[in-house]
Structure 1
Amino acid sequence: MLEKSSFINQLKNLVYQPENHTYLLAVSGGADSMVLASLFKDLSTEFQRSKYQIQVAHINYKLRGKDSNLDQKVVQDFCEKNHIKFHGYEVSEKDQKPENSIQLWARELRYNFFKEIQEKENLEFLVTAHHLNDQLETFIINLSKAAGINGLSGIPANDNAILRPLLSFSKNEIYQFAEQNNIEFREDLSNKKNDYLRNKIRNKIVPALLETNDHFLDNFKKSSFYLNQTKDFVQKQIQEIEDRITLFNLSHKILSKDKLDQENDFVKFEILKKYGFNQEEEIPKIFKAENNSSFFSKEYQLIVNRDELILVNRNNAPEVPTKILLIDHFDTSKDQIHINLQDLVQGINEYNNKNFEWDFDAELLQFPLYLRKQEEGDLFYPSGFSGKKKVSKFLRDTKLSVFNKEKIWLLCNADNQILGVIPLRQDRRFQADRNTQKKVTVRWIEEQLIL
């Protein structure tokens, strides 16, 4: 039988200097969560003069009538007795329950509630009472879904500021601890029903497995530890491969399509899965797609650009104006005016490695000058070419990706004539020559210039 010190030490190992942190405990009223609350209360006594702080959250789903209310009372009474702030949420008619997927609905409801409290109360960590039996049930569920090594590694003890300090302890050990230490809790009898997949596994499969070997849970715990070590090693190797094939990683990420295609299907899937492309059948389509094809996940747009895969975060894309004023008039007291585009637009250097400096004859220009985005039918007279050319055809010939085409700016004057396609080509009609007396210079220079 485990001593209290074993539980306390496990908490201390996981929560890292608990005297300097704040926690929201998810407490249902069952044995596992009441043991969790009791252990944190003991830590609270130990660190009572520090910044350590705990609060408790409880959801009353109103699914079991009087029993649901009694669960809530046990949690509330515990908090009142130990001077712990209690946050309760009682499900009402406005929280419409779906006819199916009650468990998914309940999970989303409670985690939204927990997040709301954490933000309001400024609590760093959410703590749940998952234990070793929960870990085994999750393993079996994920095994049935072909979840791969990440799924088989089970529930993490520390994941995105969610802590699960009881994962090393079995359900029986937790019950024994509660009885030893006179911890009051409520038994949820609905867990005995086999209405849901987890309950079927809990009530039928797990007991049968435990009967096969007296040390089954201990051996499973060791296996889970080895799987997690393997997962960590694999993830490290995957990251090294991704780093090796990454061509650019600032405002967006560019991966070498050819180099990634040389890796096996597992590596391809693991790398692209990080960006939300987690459907295995989608991966071959990405590598067979035509140039400038786009694929979308919840957060990312993936653009196929010849030998590259461009990943753009859709949520972090800044709002870009369609028109930017550069200069409203020419100061005739000066012979030359400089406009440094580095101060005005971003991202030019991502697809144009060379600095550029274009000189215009100010007497040929109609002011004001401005930048705008491409419009249908735009024409200009590119320097180095004879005749005129549609901007759309010029950009097509440059073989820029769709993503980089969207970053193109057109330099225009007051009557909407195009002076240049930034940063690729100047219009020859307005170029300065040896006879020019008044100049406007537009440039992108990496070195900081004093103008």
Structure 2
Amino acid sequence: MLTKETFNHALRNLLQNPESSNFLLAVSGGADSMVLLQLFNSSRLKFQVAHVNYHLRGEDSNADQDLVRNFCSENNIPFHLYEVSDKDQKPENSIQNWARNLRYDFFRKIQKDENLEYLVTAHHLNDQLETFLINLSKASGIKGLSGIPANENQILRPLLNFTKDAIYAFAKENQLEFREDLSNKKNNYLRNFIRNEIAPKLFETNENFLQNFAKSLNFLDQTKQFVEEKIQEIEKELISEKDHIFYINKAKFSEQNSLTKFEILRKFGFHDEIEIGKIFNAEKGKTFHSGEFQLMIDRENFVLMKTSSNENVLLENREEIIIAESLSSIKNHEISLSKYISAEQQMQWLFDEEKLTFPLKIRKKKSGDLIFPIGMIGKKTVAKFFKDEKIPILAQQKIWLLCNGNDEILGIIPLRQDRRFSADQNAQSKIKIKF
């Protein structure tokens, strides 16, 4: 049963002292959000209201806006409105995702401008069931099946344990005006189909179906927390990080069960079970991409690197960059490569000007590249140098070679300079290259 008292109890389970916080309520004008608005108002909490008019339902959309605005005006509640216009570029498909992103951007902006700690939404137990069934159909793992979180990322959902019927009963008892979105009656979206066709059939199987479902969700959430703790323990054994690159021990990781593999790789953006299976069967050198990370199969590790910004991607994808067309283009006998290369500490190499041929350039490794490393006898292929230095394959792709006009290696940046072109004490004129 939803009452002011049961609501305040639910809110205090999420937040110890709600009286000391400032809230932003997302209010559409439907029964759920209008009941939430009334409960916050009668509880005398400090809050403001945000409403988005998408103008998707003509005068009905305007009537929703008027209802929320009038309630706020009558009760001296700060009201924020966003009216969608042509500049928002509504897509032909994926309208639900577009609308969600638009309103949450709007909400976050208000929170920042008004210094409101928490966003509050009116999701309820029926929403939980719909989300559970959607996630069940997507094989989303235990995280998806444990439901919508009641308190996550400064978003509170204090009505999550109350049914839609309880919300309607509260609205009726308090003679609360609200508006129904008739578009929810159409089965053109999966959520609507589940709400209108699937959920009613489930309710017929057991009069306490939703209450039992809530208990099951609680068990699932506890199971999720237990699993997450165990996964974290396993991650500490499997994963190491250096210079923002993650290394997962391939042999030990392959011994883990499917759930552990899925949950760990999910954190790097890999969600597809078939794709994950391919990762464990792939040969050395194979690369996989999620939206967030690039994963490469190395000899002993799965090597993961966060996807670079667009600017860095453009730079990394270039095979060759001229850094000095001629000797006259070098000012004060010094070249800085900081625009292209970042090193943990500032370094510099000195070259004998008479030994250099132009143009000077940096490029990525080619087959057969040779280097005569300073401090070593003889020569090596660059590939053999990388192997001896235990440079992971993914890291090798990011390393630049400094070369002369004859395409000979002047150095592997920042690892080793080539001794053939370095400046010794007899050099008449020296060129300094810094990075």
The answer to whether TM tops 0.5 is yes
Q: What amino acid sits opposite 2:394 in the alignment? A: F
2:232 aligns with one of 218, 236, 239: 239
Could you tell me how far apart the structure 2 residues matched to 1:103 and 1:62 are? 14
Shift of 1:164: 0.9
Distance 1:246 1:175, change over 3 A: same
Residue 381 in structure 1 maps to residue 372 in structure 2 = yes
Change (3 A) 1:135 1:374: closer
Q: CA deviation at 1:305?
A: 1.4
Match of 2:54 among 53, 61, 78: 61
- Residue 206 (structure 2) pairs with residue 213 (structure 1): yes
1:14 maps to: 14
Of 59, 75, 82, the match for 1:82: 75
Note if contact 1:408-1:421 (Cα within 8 Å) is conserved in structure 2.
yes
Change (3 A) 1:402 1:109: same
**Relative to 1, partners in 2 of residues 1:298 and 1:147: Cα closer, same or farther, differing over 3 Å?**
closer
Q: Is the 8 A contact 2:2 2:162 kept in 1?
A: no
**Structure 1 match to 2:263:** 270
- The reply to whether residue 346 of structure 1 matches residue 338 of structure 2 is no
Select between 153-162 and 412-421 the one with higher mean Cα deviation.
412-421
Instruction: Provide closer, same or farther for how the CA distance between residues 32 and 289 of structure 1 changes in structure 2, counting only shifts above 3 A.
Output: same
* Equivalent residues of 2:352, 2:422 under 8 A apart: no
1:404 and 2:395 equivalent?
Answer: yes
Change (3 A) 1:347 1:244: farther
1:247-277 per-residue CA deviation (whole Å, 9 max, x = no partner) reads 3355221111111111122211211111111
Gaps of 5+ in 1: 47-51, 331-343, 349-356, 443-451
SS of 1:185's partner is coil
Partner of 1:251: 244
1:307 Cα deviation from its structure 2 partner: 0.8
Instruction: Provide the C-alpha distance between the structure 1 equivalents of 2:126 and 2:301, rounded to a whole number of angstroms.
Output: 45
TM-score by length of 1: 0.76
Q: Decide whether the 8 Å contact of 2:2 with 2:167 is kept in 1.
A: no
**Deviation per CA, 1:111-130, whole angstroms, max 9, x where unpaired?**
33323433444433221100
Shift of 1:186: 1.6
Return the offset for 1:93.
4.2
| Percent of aligned pairs sharing the same letter | 54
| Number of the residue aligned with 2:164 | 171
Query: Does residue 130 of structure 2 align to residue 155 of structure 1?
Result: no
Q: Deviations over 1:186-220 (max 9, x none)?
A: 22233334443323322333233223323222111
Cα-to-partner distance string for 1:362-418 (whole Å, 9 max, x where unaligned)? 99999xxx99665768654235333x4554564366553233325546689999986
C-alpha displacement at 1:178, in angstroms? 2.0
* Matched letter for residue 27 of structure 1: V
CA contact (8 A) 2:373 2:419 kept: yes
Task: Return the alpha-carbon distance in structure 1 between the equivalents of residues 407 and 362 of structure 2.
Answer: 10
CA–CA distance in 1 between the matches of 2:406 and 2:95? 63
Asked if the contact 2:136–2:145 (Cα under 8 Å) also holds between the matched residues in 1, the reply is yes
Instruction: Say if 1:293 and 1:304, in contact at 8 Å, map to a contact too.
Output: yes
SS in 2 for 1:281: helix
**Equivalent in the alignment of 1:310:** 303
Q: Give secondary structure in 2 for the equivalent of 1:395.
A: helix
Q: Relative to structure 2, which stretch is displaced further, 237-246 or 286-295?
A: 286-295
CA contact (8 A) 1:257 1:308 kept: yes
Q: Alignment partner for residue 291 of structure 2, among 298, 301, 309? A: 298
Counterpart residue number, 2:177: 184
1:219-245 superposed Cα distances (whole Å, 9 cap, x missing partner): 111111111111111122122111210
Summarize deviations over 1:340-369 as a string: whole Å, max 9, x none. Answer: xxxx95359xxxxxxxx9999999999xxx
Q: Which amino acid aligns with 1:165?
A: P
Query: Which runs of 5 or more structure 2 residues have no equivalent in the other structure?
Result: 325-330, 335-340
Report the Cα distance in structure 2 between the residues aligned to 1:363 and 1:3, rounded to whole angstroms: 84
Aligned-pair CA distance for 1:428? 4.6
Q: Which amino acid aligns with 2:6?
A: S
- In structure 2, the partner of 1:103 is 96
The equivalent residue for 1:4 is 4
Q: Cα gap change, 1:430/1:2 in structure 2, threshold over 3 Å: closer, same or farther?
A: closer
* Residue identity opposite 1:33 in structure 2: S
- CA distance in 2 between counterparts of 1:32 and 1:263 reads 44
Q: What is the CA–CA distance in structure 2 between the aligned matches of 1:410 and 1:96, rounded to whole Å?
A: 45
Alpha carbons 2:363, 2:402 under 8 Å: kept: no
314-323 or 94-103, larger mean C-alpha shift:
314-323
In 2: Cα distance, 1:24 partner to 1:275 partner = 32
Residue 38 of structure 2 is matched in structure 1 by: 38
User: Which residue does 2:327 correspond to in 1?
Assistant: none
d(CA) in 1 for partners of 2:219, 2:350: 68
CA contact (8 A) 1:254 1:309 kept: yes
**Deviation of 1:35 (Å):** 1.3
